[in-house]
Amino acid sequence: MCEPDAGDLVAAASEAGVVRIVSVGTTPERCVETLALAERFDGVYAAIGRHPNSASGFSESEVAELRRLASHDKCVAIGETGLDYYRDYAPVDAQKQWFSAQIALARELGKPLVIHTRAAEDDTIAMLASLAGGVRVILHCFTMAARLDECLEHPDWWFSFAGNMTFPKAPELRAAAVRVPEDRLLVETDAPFLAPVPMRGKPNQPAFVVHTAQALAVERRVSYEELSAAVERNAAELFGW
């Protein structure tokens, strides 16, 4: 979804010290494009899924095609999947069908599950708690600060913080990021959205994840090098690279 040439984005990320990127497919077409990027660049991997905002239809044949794409060697995760009640882009029942199917697919393929949730915290947590036991869950762009204690009770859930953690009006996210155990912590861009301070207002890109990691290190009172090493260990454990 980032507009600049993928080669330029990967080169800029590498120059900033980013050695691996997970590019996320959210629709059938974007999943194919994402796998093509993963095949093109050594340090780029794919997450393959059906985003809740694109879950307006459901069929077993579409799930079978998602399974085929997700079986690719460079697919390291399933998703984004989850629930979004903020945008009225897809019926709730269809979102839940796709969410349930992708939880099952993550379990079948032994790959972690990337979660999108917006204005749907109750149902998202309830479905994960009832259906995703033993599945490694990544709470993408974590915003459920008020539900942190509840989420921390699940040892297989990881917490990924994006550029919105750096925004002046997000003290609750910074407080949550301090409390997450080091071995369950990730950082991300959500590019092209949520560019972190000091890049706010610009289209986000993979290189900018460094700014989020630097801000997170300050909040947690550790060096950038220490935080980077922890995040790299966690990502390697989750994604198997």
d(CA 80, CA 239): 15
Domain with 75, as residue range(s), is: 6-239
Q: Write down the pLDDT at residue 22.
A: 98
Number of other residues whose CB lies within 10 A of the CB of residue 239: 18
- Which regions of the chain does DSSP assign to beta strands (E)? 21-25, 44-48, 75-84, 113-118, 137-139, 157-161, 185-187
On the CB side of 215, CA atoms within 13 Å amount to 26
pLDDT in single tens digits along all 241 residues of the chain: 898 799 999 999 999 999 999 999 999 999 999 999 999 999 999 999 999 999 988 999 999 999 999 999 999 999 999 999 999 899 999 999 999 999 999 999 999 999 999 999 999 999 999 999 999 999 999 999 999 999 999 999 999 999 999 999 999 999 999 999 999 999 999 999 999 999 999 999 999 999 999 999 999 999 999 999 999 999 999 999 9
C-alpha–C-alpha distance, residues 3 and 74, integer Å: 23
Alpha-carbon separation of residue 24 from 50, 224, 235 (angstroms): 10, 26, 15
Contact 21, 10 (CB under 8 A): yes
* Domain CATH number, residue 229: 3.20.20.140
Percent helix, percent strand, percent coil in the chain, to nearest 5 = 50, 15, 35
d(C-alpha 39, C-alpha 74), whole Å: 7
- In-domain check, residue 1: no
Question: Is there a domain that residue 177 lies in?
Answer: yes
Between helix 224-239 and helix 209-220 the angle, nearest 10°, is: 120
pLDDT given for residue 56 in this prediction: 87
Number of domains in the chain: 1
Report pLDDT for 75.
98
**3-state class (DSSP) for residue 140:** coil
In a domain, 108, yes or no: yes
Instruction: Provide the pLDDT for residue 167.
Output: 98
Decide if 79 contacts 114 (C-beta within 8 A).
Answer: yes
Q: What gap in Å lies between CA 174 and CA 7, rounded to an integer? A: 32
Q: From CA 62, how far away is CA 126, in angstroms rounded?
A: 25
Please enumerate in sequence order all residues whose Cβ is within 8 A of that of 168, keeping only pairs 6 or more positions apart, or say none. Answer: 197
State residue 4's pLDDT score.
79
- Is 155 inside any structural domain? yes
